[in-house]
Amino acid sequence: MTQSPNQLKLREELLKLSKAKEWALARAEWDLHMIEELDPHDEPEECLCGHSPIRELCWLKNKETESLALVGNVCVQKFTGLGSAAIFRSIAKVKKVVGRALALKLIYFAHREKAINDWELTFYVDTHRKRALSEKQAYKRAQINVKVLRWLDAAKRDLRGAK
């Protein structure tokens, strides 16, 4: 299968930051560390593959070397398979209607990063597919959504400060 120049460059750059020197092994070292969507007034960024401008950013972290890499959402989807597109879609929906359900991938991610607690994770998973929530459940979902969105905003500020 032919690889695009962007795919080749992304793999080359990630390999430089990896312990393993073969893509099949190096790929397993990388996890989604944080995501951010740039505000309209923010300067666009450039993907590790060289593509610019990107506005949906995925920060990848290497489990072996602790290296961080800034990669566009499209590259993450196409080349690494970490599945960030559903996260970005759910964030956009919840920003419009705070009571909508966030993607479970984001909920598990937020829990892994300790942005939400065990009870909030269990509640969200139990009510995720429910269309008709009770008033209390709807309120709790909205609270958790706001908490996750605030966590993402704070993480964005932290990453920008570290950059």
| Lookup: tokens for 55 | 């506005």
In sequence order, the β-bridge partners of residue 69 are: 60
Alpha helices (runs of H) in the chain, residue ranges in sequence order: 5-16, 23-27, 73-75, 85-96, 104-112, 118-127, 135-162
Task: Please tell me the predicted confidence (pLDDT) of residue 6.
Answer: 80
- Asked if residues 109 and 51 have their Cβ atoms less than 8 Å apart, the reply is no
* Residue pointed to by tokens 């290497």: 62
Q: Is the Cα dihedral 16, 20, 24, 26 positive or negative?
A: negative
Structure pTM?
A: 0.78
Please list the pLDDT of the chain residue by residue as tens digits (163 residues): 567 788 889 889 999 999 999 988 998 898 888 888 888 888 889 999 998 899 999 889 999 999 999 999 888 877 666 668 888 889 999 999 999 999 998 999 899 989 999 999 999 999 999 889 999 999 999 999 999 999 998 887 777 665 5
Task: Measure the CA–CA gap between 47 and 34, rounded to whole angstroms.
Answer: 15
- Asked if residues 52 and 44 have their Cβ atoms less than 8 Å apart, the reply is yes
